[in-house]
Amino acid sequence: MQLTDCVPFCAPLLADAAAQDGSGWIAAAFILLGAALAMGIAELFVPTAGVLAVVTGCCAVASVACFFMHGPLWGLASLLAYSAGAPFALVFGFKLWTKTPIARRMVLGENDGDSAAVAPTIRGDAPSVGEDGFAETALRPVGWVRIGDRRVEATAELGMIDAGTAVTVTSTREGRVSVRVRG
């Protein structure tokens, strides 16, 4: 099996490189490196279930093979550089990915409320035990409840509570409000 069989989208370029004095291999290697970087960046923003990650890996391996075809020193240097740089690229990519809308939906879930009211409002205006309200969001077991004109983060005492369900405050200990279904 030849290298041109493994990488069909670069077969014409690689065939030209093999016919020349070997300088085409270095060009092919850098082109494949650029393709690997582009596919890796695209993987962060396009949900492809890992298809682009596999293509990125194939381009990187083909790039190292082309560097080896140019010369053993180039091949060894590229192999060492890729091996040393891959962990840093993965960590940087993961940190960048966690800030994308796709990652926020996958990891953190949908935004259950408006972003202005994300801090709990249980400082001086804590609800008292026995007050009634309703669940603004589903409590699984934590969510938001409306008690009078206050929006408070609360924990369901038992199980889960659906949004819109009438609730009663059962405790307000250590800055946490616990509720249960009214009834």
Number of domains the chain contains: 2
Cα-trace Rg, the chain: 28
Q: Are residues 81 and 11 in the same domain?
A: yes
CATH number of the domain enclosing 142: 2.40.50.140
Please report the beta strands in 27-165, taking only residues with DSSP state E, as ranges in sequence order.
Answer: 132-135, 142-147, 150-156
Q: Are residues 55 and 123 in the same domain?
A: no
- Tokens representing 44 are 């962060």
Cα 42 versus chain centre, distance: 13
Domain that holds residue 165: 111-181
3-state SS of the chain: helix, strand, coil percent to 5? 50, 20, 30
Residue pair 182/168 in contact (Cβ under 8 Å)? The answer is yes
Per-residue pLDDT tens digits of the chain, which is 183 residues long: 555 555 555 556 555 545 556 788 999 999 999 999 999 888 888 878 889 989 999 999 999 999 999 999 999 999 999 999 989 988 988 888 888 877 777 765 545 444 444 444 455 577 888 999 999 999 998 999 999 888 999 999 988 999 999 999 999 888 789 999 987
